[in-house]
Amino acid sequence: MRKPRQIAFYGKGGIGKSTIASNLAAAWAEAGLKVLMIGCDPKADCTRNLRGDVEVATVLDLLREKEGTKMELTETAGGKTIQLDEIVYHGYQGVLCVEAGGPEPAVGCAGRGIIVAVNLLKRLGVYDEELDIIIYDVLGDVVCGGFGLPLRQGLADLVFIVTSADYLAIYAANNICRGIERYAGRDGAMLGGIIYNVRGAIDDIGLVREFARNVG
């Protein structure tokens, strides 16, 4: 069984990483590759461009529905079997779409959704399919333990950071780079590059170029 290329896209919320990630997923699928895209944002809208108006159940929503408040990593929940098609949706050109989701307001850790989703997908055999590319679309405002999972556990081969010249976007990008540096020497993910997403006519590419040079 071939090993799929695993790529994570990080960036400040609203920076356009989901648009970029879903466009790449669509392009790779059109080229004949089998793609899995996992949305790792509590808003559960990362794969929206690939599935149109179709609403999908998030992994955490399904677990809450079938297990109550427990978050155990089993295929069966409360005596009911979790079916693969309940959490995996076939989107544009057959791209497999999954949304990890998040906890209820003021309860739990949003980053834990990534851990739960990945482990459940592995138990259900999604990672055993003949995949070519796995995309993680990860919220990057806070690189906590859950959101940092693709970094520290080496789930992703490469991490691409999406940013604009906005100071908060660059601040988030810098924090992500610090997380990558922390785990890169311990079989963590490597930085693949900085993706500049122009936000408007007043955006200053010079700031992003300077940031990229300093990151090295």
Known catalytic residues are: 12, 17, 43, 141
Q: In 3D, which of 194, 193, 189 has the Cα closest to residue 6? A: 189
Beta-bridged to residue 77, according to DSSP, are: 80
Q: Are 191 and 215 in contact (CB under 8 A)?
A: yes
84 burial (CB, 10 Å; 0-12 / 13-18 / 19+) is middle
Q: In this structure, are residues 130 and 95 in contact, taking their beta carbons and an 8 Å threshold?
A: no
Residue 131 CA: distances (Å) to CA of 3, 81, 127: 8, 24, 7
